[in-house]
Structure 1
Amino acid sequence: MKAWRLPLLLLPLLAACEVLQGTGYRVAEAQLLFPEATERWAYFYGEPREVRLSEKTLRLERPRGESLWAVPEALWVDGNPLLREVGPALRPPAEAVRGVSGSLLEVRAQAPLRSSWLYDGVGWVRLTGGLREGERRTLVQPASYQTPDLSAFTGPETQVLLREVLARRGGRQVVLFELAEPVLKPLALDPAPEAYRVGALSVQYGLRVEIVAPPAPLFRILDRGVNAAYQEEAPRAFLANDPNRFAEVWNLVVQNRLPRPPAPSVDFRNRSVAAFFRGLKPTGGYGLEVAGVTYAGDAARVVLTLTAPRPGAIVTQALTSPYVVLELQKVRRVVFTDPAGRTLAEARD
């Protein structure tokens, strides 16, 4: 079971709810944004007791009977397996659409997301990790099924929530968005619980079909060679997220050339440029190849295979400076590693 903790993102919301030690109970709250209504599901854990909610007294008791909404070890509230409130529907904070080709999907975030998931009628597939407000992600529908891992909830809680989401789908596909921040204020309980976990989920039933452009490639090599103007011996990485920074990096690439080629065109609204300079080498025969690129959140990992001259090889005796310049998806950090995972250099925006 996940450890009870108070996520940092909830501190502003809980400023008016003093956390007391020894109050004998804990709360896990799910905020469910269905198309027709917004629901709050609150589970209580700990010792039986009474707590106040506004002018109402809640009796927290040992489990009694069975219910599809019950979670093991959770106390019942006034004879029910949870405290459930239903309010008006809210504007969807995210949307997913399907491309005309059928295999393409686009996730559009109007609010920060932790993750997004698709139930295709057979099982759940993970569509995206974290997305920033206003960000879009185009992807090919994954083929591997897995149970959603919702960060704010335990496994038994997740099981109950997913069962309820699927019970309302009516044969439609489902997209589940895990929001990065709650949308409702926490319950004003008296006394305050020892811990208060909150997670918000937005549910979309069915996918509209639109023309969706294929996803951008994982990376594009803009330039690669062995005669950069970079003159330091230690390797170094650069990351550019605007034209001015890119111009500085590009100058390190082409300063030794005549005529100097112009920098390639890059759309910095959704792309970044990363460069790796291996450092000044005494002879030729040194190079590098891009073995692959992976992404996690706002960071990219570029795996490079480094080559060196074999003993006795005939190579130029002139100084060389190997490098590669890549266009990546939009990131704030890039780490260059060798195939064994050893870090060669990294850069941040």
Structure 2
Amino acid sequence: MKRTLLAAALLGAGLLSACSMTGPGNLKVHEAVLYGGAQERVVWVYGTLQGSASSVKLGSQSADLRAQVSDPIATPGSLSVNGKATYREPTATLPAQVTVTRQGSAFTVTPASGAQISAVYYTDGQSWTRLNGTIGTVGGTRVDGLKGAGQLTDDEARVLSDTLRPQGPLAVAVLANQPAPALAVEPTPTEHLRSDLYILSSVPTAQVQPPRPLPGTPTTPTPTTPTPGGNVTVTQIATGTNANTSEAGVQVAATASAASSLYARAYGRQSSVPTPPSVTGRTLIGVFLGQRPTGGYGVQVVSASSSGTQLTLRVRLTAPAPGAILAQVITSPWAIVSVPGSYSAVTVIDENGQPLPTATGGGQVR
């Protein structure tokens, strides 16, 4: 008798729970299932609220749906889930699906045995490229982020692109299969889209891209000796997130041997170390942030000024926003720039004027 009453009570509770799921009108669920460098399922929920709130069941979790909150990964028309822009849960570890190496404007793509890859995207931390193939040595086409990847809407592709881009260089492989189990949703949505993406962090670069001036800096030739004072033309040489150092610092190179030492520090964890540019009449300066726990950190030199033989670099530091989708890999961001002339001392400050660790001459940190 007691067992019968208990079973009836449990059944009643289950029916009550099911009835309490007042899903929004025209419920739609869109998933981005991430593997590799970022192991989580990101779910956007869309629909028309029944009053000020509605509820659904996502997986084993009951979710309260309300008007969307302000968040970098919120998309137009989506609803907040338990006070967050999306519903998120971890995904199981997936064996490596692909390796990608960049060399100049070409890429070498090697899928793992059995991997089903329909497209590969790459970001160097500044822009996005869609590779022109999924195996072998291929070129790439500049694209507007992850637009067209899997079943992502344009808005979902945009927010994912904006979140992942600062963590470059990285690659995103679009999987044609669905390794993770399906997400159960109650009530049944009118639309359920899913995109499975493998994130490959710290894509190695076997060749430095040609130097390009930073935005807003002059492109006319400048003297090879320090000016008495004022702005100095600074040329960005390369940036990365996987330096061969865990320590923060600034490294200066005014000779060929010092330049080689600087490049070994920046590229030492990659498949090959590029040949540094000539330092004749110029100085190379590397700014290293040291070890960081995830992707999303970076450094960019935004300006330079001199006073006699004293050089000051101003840098912009970036860090991940709270709740951002992050590559779960230890990084070590860096930037290398070139300036005309030689200097007896180099100081690096952030945008608030606070100093970073400094070094002088010979490519040695001190």
* TM-score normalised to structure 2 length: 0.44
**Which is higher, the Rg of structure 1 or of structure 2?**
1
Q: What TM-score do the two structures reach when normalised by structure 1?
A: 0.46
